[in-house]
Every structure is written in structure tokens, then in C-alpha cells.
Chains A and B, each alone.
Chain A
Amino acid sequence: MAEARLRWLLPLGLSLAVLVPLGVLWQRSLIPGSLSVLDMGVPDFGTGTVFGASAHDHHGEAGTSVTDLVDAPNRPADVTVDLRADAAQLEIAGRPVQGFTVNGTSPGPTIRAQQGQLVEVRFTNGSVPGGATLHWHGVDVPNAMDGVAGVTQDAVDVGHSFTYRFVASRAGTYWYHSHQVSHRQVIGGLLGALVVSPAGDATPSETGDVVAIAHTYAGFRTINGQAGDLRVAAAPGDRVRVRVVNTDNATLPLWADQPVTLAALDGSEVNRPTPLTGVMVGVAAGGRADLLVDVPAAGAARVQLSKSTAVIVGADGVEPPPPSQPSSWLDLLSYGSPLATTLDPTRPDRSFSYRMTQQPGFVRGRPGVWWAINGQLYPQLPMFMVRQGELVAVHFDNQTTETHPMHLHGHHLLVLARNHQPASGSPWWTDSLDVLPGENYDVVFWATNPGLWMDHCHNLDHAKDGMITHLAYEGVTTPFRLGGDHLNEPE
């Protein structure tokens, strides 16, 4: 009798031993249909003081709502733009591609403003199914204007509008893109450039200024939406600033047939940049690189944006041959010259670890091998908790087999070291930092822009698979929810 029972109990026990842990992991990976970002993840205070978990335990608690975090609400706008997004069939290299337009084209219009101006963009969703938003990539906008569906606003449904207002406080090259179902909408072309020129004309040596948005539509590389080369008319001796924006999911390599200078990276000017020869500049996904191109006496200079597209700066009709692709990359750690700064980055108030690995498990109920952060899978990811005014250090450590372009919203990261080797060049400010397999970076940022900010991988397919964390300031709450009636889905 006992033996017969054992004959059933043993297999049953073994089965449960296998299935119960799997079931628990599966159950933990499910996301409710409507969820506050504040209930996602586990508060991580790093090495700093633990404060009342008021931001996390937000129910019925008085805090600052993200909607109150705005710039000068009564100040009249200096630059006003109407943008309308639509689902549309694009024509890329003569082929039809399903995508999105902004004001009828993809990329949408380039917005130009002067440093210090208040930019007001009235965004209307014409026909993008499932809603859309605009995120201002690289601009330290106030949190309410960050454009993250389900965190700082609801996705804008078809026929509705949302007005973005922010002061363009830093000069540089930026871009805007949807942050609702971004792995589809950005890939489909719901994006455009934003150029903020310095107050006053600070760069008299430059005779030209052109935007080159690199985007791959359905496998076809383009510059400013056109396959092939972008021609920029210029005379010998001219110096043209080419603002390259990498809107793809992977690193964009740049190289030229003559020395060019990397004047700015992610909107921040490089201190004393030197002309580059024989190296590629790697622009991380989401990143921007401003190149200064001097038109040679021979008539035209050629800058490759990957092997398949180029910007040709010079006289019409001159066709410089493609230069061979260099085998090495520019090391930004030692490029340019150091700059004495009043900000001391060496004594952080708080240090966080951001360790990336791959581990088997479930994400949204699907089994697989997924991106993990600090050993945890989405949605049990760390919620990085900070207080306003703190200096915050982050140690990125990529132990995966792929590159991750790390993008923190609303802040700029200052790179201090890579693989523990200190930065020795120009201050390296970035908002889109490529962390290669096996690399680690030490960066800092100043927590001076309160809100709830995404801190995620800008390979949007990785973000979709859960490579998404948030930075939360003490006491900031949000009325918006992931999922819910607006089907907010920022990834």
C-alpha cells in the first residue's frame, strides 16, 4: 500500500519540484493591464542614504506630480511649431515601406532654436494607431515634457494633441522621436532633428550647417530620408558643420576621405578637438556627432555614414571616391583636452551599480534568455532613487554578448573612466553611451532635474525585451499608468 502510494508520490513530487519554481518565475514576470511605474521594480538607494520610500509608496501621499514639473508656464514662446504625426506608406529607394511621417515627411521637419529660447511644439496625432508621443532625446526638458507614455503623459490618441514647452538651455544637436511603442514607431520613422544654436554667433569660422539624420528603413539606409548620398553645396575653403544623428538601434560608424574634426558629441562641444585621420567615429544608437568638414581645393569632401551612405560636401558634380574603411575607432576617452571645471565629480553622494547580464527566465510570461540588470529580470528591476541636488555615480558593467547604448533621460552623463582607466581628454558628456561587451564605465550626473526618468538601453528592441529602468527623485509621483485606457507602452 505504502509502496503503491510512493509510486505516485515520487513522480508527482519530482514534477512539482520542476514545475513550481518555473510557475513562480512565470507568474512574477506577468505585468498587470494597468500599472504605475512607481510600483514597478525595487527601490535601489545605491550607497547613499535611504529616505522615506515616499516616491515608491505613493498611494494617497502628497508629493510633486510629474505634471507640475514644467518650464516657465506663463512665458510666451519664442519658437512655435505644429507637428502632426501620421501612419503612412513611405517610399525608400523606390520601394514602398510602411512607416510614419511628421508633417508629411520622414524624418519630420528640423526644429531650429537659439539657446535660451522657449520652444513650444503643438503635437497632434493625425493617424498613428495606438497613440504616439514626442520625446526630446538629449534635451534636459522638465519632466512633464519628456514624452514618455505612461510615465510623464498619456499616449496621444488619434485626433488629440499635446503641447510640449521647454527652454532650450544647451546649444547642440538633438532629436525628437515617439516614446510610445518606440521599437516600432521610431524604426518606422516617427522622428526628426532639433538644432539649438549658441546664443549669439559663437562659431564665425563655420560657413555652413547641415543636419544628416541617419535612419534605416526596412533595411535601407538613408540620410534625411533619402537613400544614397547627401550633397551639400559648398566652395573650397568653406567649413561646414555636419550634424549627424544616429536614429538606428546600432552604432553608426563615420569616416572621411580627409581629416575632419569631431566638434561636438551628443550636443556638447568637445574641448580643443583635433583633426581625425584613419579612424572611425562611432555614434551610439540615439547619439549625435557634429563633424567639421573643410572643403578641399579638389572640390569636395566625402564623409561616410557607414559603408552605404555618405555626405558629400563641396562643388556639384565632383564625386570623390569612397575612402577605405579604417579598422580602428576613435577613443573618446582621450580625445580633445581636459578642461578645468568648477564641478567636482569625485565625491558622489550616491553610487549605483548597473550590471547587465543575460539569464534564462520569463519576461511578460514568455520563456527565454533575457537581459538582466543587477541579476534581475524585468519588471523586478532596480528603481534608482535619488534626491535633488545629489551628485550620482553609476557603474555600467556589460557582461552580455551585445553592445548596449545607455540612455538616461533628462540628464547628461559625464564619463570618468572606462575599464577603470580614467578619462584623459575633453570632458566627455553624453546622453547615449555605447557600452560594449566586456566593458565597464564609471559615469556621474548631477541630479538637478526632478522627475521620473527612464534610464534604458536605446537599442529599442532590447528595451522592448525589458532593458528598462527608471530614475526616481524623492517625492515625485505620476498620475499616469503603463497600460491602462491609453494602452501606454513606452518601449
Chain B
Amino acid sequence: MKKLYSLVAYLVCGLVAVQAGTMVWAHSGMFQWVAAGGVLDKAAIESSDSLTFDGVQGFMIHGMNGMMVIPSVAVVLLVLSFFAKVPHGVAWAIGVAVLVALQVALGLLGHEFTISGLFHGVNALVLFTVALLAGLRARG
């Protein structure tokens, strides 16, 4: 059970890394597309399903991974923590869950407050670190 707890904690780390990667991947593709004549305005963003540039999937993966996959994995970690008897394992799992919730909130608030995006990036590193420490803890 401890091993599973630590694996799931590492999974959170891996998924956070995917978040960082997909965002930059999508932006790289987007800027090349704009350079080639694509125009990015609100109408284009709001029909992002129809955009076809290389890397556009990055935005979709970032959204799905961040809003659905990572929160689900955080819940799994929390449930495992009840059984795993990792020292302070429940507290670490709650920490991960709270940081995930904060991260989603910061991401969405970024649509309204730019500064929120700054904290979204920083909080990603905090989340990564806490998940990593939780995983290391379970290894004793």
C-alpha cells in the first residue's frame, strides 16, 4: 500500500510535468502559426476545436489533464493515504489535494486577472515538490 501511495504521488509529479510541457509546446506551435498568417483573436480562441496548428492539442491536453485527470489522481492519493500508514501521509495527501484545487482556481482566475497566471506557474512547482516529498516519505 505504501508503494502504491508513493507511485501515485510520483504520478502527480509526472502529470504536473506534462502540464508544463504541453503549455509551452502549444505556445510554440501557436506563435509559428501566427507568424504564418494565422490571426489569434477572441473568436479564434473561442473556437479552438477548429484550430489545426501543430501543438494545438497541447491546450486541450492541458485543460483535460488539469481539470479532470490530476484532480482525480489527487483524490486517489487521498483515499490511499487512509490505508497506507505513511507517516503524516494523510496530511501530505491533503496538501496535494489543496494545492491541486488552488492550481485549478488560479488557472481559471487567470482569465480575469493576469497576475493569477504568475502564481499558477509558481504553484505548479510547489505542487510538484509536495507530491515528490509525499512520494519520498512513503519510501521511508
Contacts and interface: CB of A to CB of B under 8 A. Distances in A.
Interface of A: 10-12, 14-15, 18-19, 22, 93, 97, 183-184, 187-188, 214, 216-221, 248-252, 285, 306-308, 358, 360, 366-369, 401-402, 437, 459, 461
Nearest to A437: B112
B38 A250 contact: no
Nearest to B30: A219
A367 B68 contact: yes
B111 A402 contact: yes
B82 A10 contact: yes
Nearest to B33: A219
Interface string B7-40: 0000000000000000000000000010001111
Contacts of A93: 37
Interface string B98-126: 00010010001101100000000000000
A308 B41 CA distance: 9
Interface in B32-52: 33, 37-52
Given A19-B75, A188-B50, A219-B53, 5 more contacts: A15-B82, A367-B72, A401-B111, A402-B111, A461-B46
The interface residues of chain B, by DSSP majority, are classed as: helix
23 contacts: A10-B82, A11-B82, A15-B79, A18-B78, A183-B49, A187-B49, A214-B43, A216-B50, A218-B50, A218-B52, A219-B51, A219-B52, A221-B39, A248-B46, A248-B47, A249-B46, A252-B43, A307-B39, A367-B68, A367-B72, A369-B108, A459-B46, A461-B46
A369 B104 contact: yes
A427 to B, nearest CB: 28
A307 B41 contact: yes
B61 interface: no
A248 B49 contact: no
A90 to B, nearest CB: 11
A367 B50 contact: no
A350 to B, nearest CB: 32
Nearest to B37: A93
Contacts of B75: 18-19, 22
Contacts, number: 93
A115 to B, nearest CB: 31
Given A216-B43, A221-B39, A358 B108 contact: yes
A403 to B, nearest CB: 9
B71 interface: yes
A249 B82 contact: no
Contacts of B51: 218-219
Nearest to B84: A11
A220 B39 contact: yes
A101 B107 CA distance: 37
Contact of A219 (B44, B72, B83): B44
B43 A220 contact: no
Contacts of B68: 366-368
Listed residue (A93, A214, A369, A437) with the most chain B CB atoms within 10 angstroms of its CB: A369
Nearest to A462: B46
A307 B50 CA distance: 20
Given A11-B83, A366-B68, A368-B67, A401 B109 contact: yes
Contacts of B47: 187, 216, 219, 248-249, 461
Contacts of B43: 214, 216, 221, 248-250, 252, 306
B82 A367 contact: no
A360 B102 CA distance: 12
A360 B104 contact: yes
Nearest to A362: B68
B37 to A, nearest CB: 7
Contacts of A187: 47, 49-50
Contacts of B44: 216, 219, 221
B38 to A, nearest CB: 5
B57 to A, nearest CB: 14
Nearest to B34: A219
Contacts of B67: 367-369
Contacts of A19: 75, 79
A172 to B, nearest CB: 23
A326 to B, nearest CB: 16
A172 B111 CA distance: 35
A89 to B, nearest CB: 13
A93 B108 CA distance: 33
A220 B38 contact: yes
A248 B51 CA distance: 14
A22 B78 CA distance: 13
Contact of B42 (A10, A251, A368, A437): A251
Interface in B68-82: 68, 71-72, 75, 78-79, 82
Contacts of A220: 38-39
A25 B65 CA distance: 20
Nearest to B42: A250
Contacts of A15: 79, 82-83
B45 A250 contact: yes
Contacts of A360: 71, 101, 104
Contact of B49 (A97, A184, A306, A366): A184
* 6 tightest Cβ-Cβ pairs between the two chains A and B: A11-B82, A249-B46, A250-B42, A248-B43, A401-B112, A368-B67
A456 to B, nearest CB: 15
A460 to B, nearest CB: 8
